[in-house]
Structures are given as structure tokens and as C-alpha cells.
């Protein structure tokens, strides 16, 4: 059976990296084979695309930016995501197609339906089984003002539009896209995530869940 594909999304400074790390640790403790990865930058070429995308000095038009993210995604799907899922692994990925809808769509104002079609070319139709959106007001985002990257420098209104975009994505697909209140302590946020992921695994891997319950 194909493995499970979990993505972690949210505005910049919402704690994605910390929570992805805690989730990966928990899944490994439960005995699952896990691949931890991210977009942009989950492949060798992707790491270079990430540098280009995030360097504040680079002037990049919204259209060029979109295709750079999609190039990174196409490589990532082919080199990392599909092979890991084919081996039955659980993939925990920081950001994926929903970031394109939230940032390039709601943030930059590009047409969301068109972005869905273009992103489907990059993914070949692969979609997450579960997407956790770390939700917090942009004013509370933990950003280092002295070291903002190109996207983080877009300002408060841009981040507001992105945050609203994530809310709309969660409303449109409530089964797949779950909002997680990211305002609490790291452990409290982690507990919410574990509850949702446990649910997913019990649906997808019923035998593993039974074994854990000792039946």
C-alpha cells in the first residue's frame, strides 16, 4: 500500500519546522518509516532554487516565481515524494501545493483555479492525504526582523492575505486540510497534531492501529 503523505503549512513564522520535527520524532517512536522533507529545497537542484527564490536581492516577477516553485515541486515529486510513498513510508513535508495557492494565489492575486491546474502538472496529480495548517494571526508570526527573506519582506498585508487564503483552503476541503491552533506552547500544538495524525493512520493503517492498542 502507498504510504501516507502529510504536509505542514502555515504563514512564515508559525512554527512549521519545530512542529514537523516533533511529528517526525513521534512517528518514528511509533515505529513508522518516515521521510522528512520540504519545499522549496527538498532535492539537490531544489536547494539551489530555494536560494534563488528566497534571496532578498533577487528581483523575480510573480510569474517567474510561480514557475520556480513549480520546478522545485516537479523535481521533488519525482525524486523524493513518489519513491518514498511507493515504499510505504510516511512523508512529512513542510509546504507543498497549498503554499502555491495561498502565496501566489491569495497573496499575489493569481487565479487560484489556474494555479491548481499548473500545480497538477508539477505533481502529476499527487495530493496530500492530510494537510495541517499551523494557524496564527500574522501579527504574532515569529519572524526575525533583521533577517527577513524575499517573501517574508512582502509585509503585513501580504501575510494577511496568505493567512486568509489558508483559512479558505481549509473551509473548501475540511477533510484533508485541518487548522491547528499554533498560538500555544510547542507541546500543546504537538498534541493537537498527534490527535489528527493518529486519526489518519487509524483510517489508513487499521492493522497498525490495532497492534498499538494491544488487540
Positions that interact with ligand TMP (CB under 6 A): 12, 38-40, 69, 95, 99-100, 103-104, 151-152
CB of 199 to ligand TMP, least distance (A): 25
Min dist CB 16 to ligand TMP, Å, is 6
| Residue 105 C-beta: closest distance to ligand TMP, Å | 9
| Contact in structure between 176 and 128 (CB atoms under 8 Å) | yes
**Centroid of chain to Cα 204:** 20
5 or 69: CB nearest ligand TMP = 69
Residue number with CB closer to ligand TMP (1 or 146): 146
Q: For ligand TMP, which is the closer residue by CB, 34 or 110?
A: 110
Provide the pairing of β-strand 34-38 with 5-10.
Answer: unpaired
Provide the minimum distance between the beta carbon of 214 and ligand TMP in the complex, in angstroms, as a whole number: 39
Closer residue to ligand TMP, CB minimum distance, 9 or 129: 9
Amino acid at each position: 500500500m502507498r504510504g501516507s503523505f502529510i504536509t505542514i503549512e502555515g504563514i512564515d513564522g508559525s512554527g512549521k519546522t519545530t512542529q514537523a520535527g516533533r511529528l517526525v520524532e513521534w512517528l518514528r517512536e511509533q515505529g513508522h518509516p518516515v521521510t522528512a522533507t520540504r519545499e522549496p529545497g527538498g532535492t539537490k537542484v531544489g536547494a539551489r532554487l530555494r536560494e534563488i527564490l528566497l534571496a532578498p536581492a533577487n528581483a523575480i516577477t510573480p510569474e517567474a516565481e510561480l514557475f520556480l516553485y513549480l520546478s522545485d515541486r516537479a523535481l521533488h515529486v519525482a525524486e523524493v515524494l513518489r519513491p518514498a510513498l511507493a515504499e510505504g513510508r510516511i512523508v512529512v513535508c513542510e509546504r507543498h501545493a497549498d503554499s502555491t495557492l495561498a502565496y501566489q494565489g491569495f497573496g499575489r492575486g493569481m487565479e487560484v483555479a489556474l494555479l491548481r491546474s499548473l500545480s497538477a502538472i508539477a505533481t502529476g496529480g499527487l495530493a496530500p492525504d492530510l494537510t495541517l495548517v499551523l494557524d496564527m494571526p500574522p501579527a504574532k508570526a515569529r519572524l526575525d526582523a533583521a533577517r527577513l527573506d524575499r517573501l517574508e519582506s512582502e509585509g503585513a498585508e501580504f501575510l494577511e492575505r496568505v493567512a486568509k487564503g489558508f483559512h479558505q483552503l481549509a473551509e473548501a476541503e475540511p477533510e484533508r486540510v485541518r487548522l491547528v491552533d499554533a498560538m500555544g506552547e510547542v507541546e500543546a500544538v504537538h498534541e493537537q497534531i498527534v490527535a489528527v495524525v493518529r486519526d489518519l493512520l487509524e483510517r489508513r493503517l487499521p492493522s497498525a492501529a490495532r497492534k498499538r492498542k494491544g488487540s
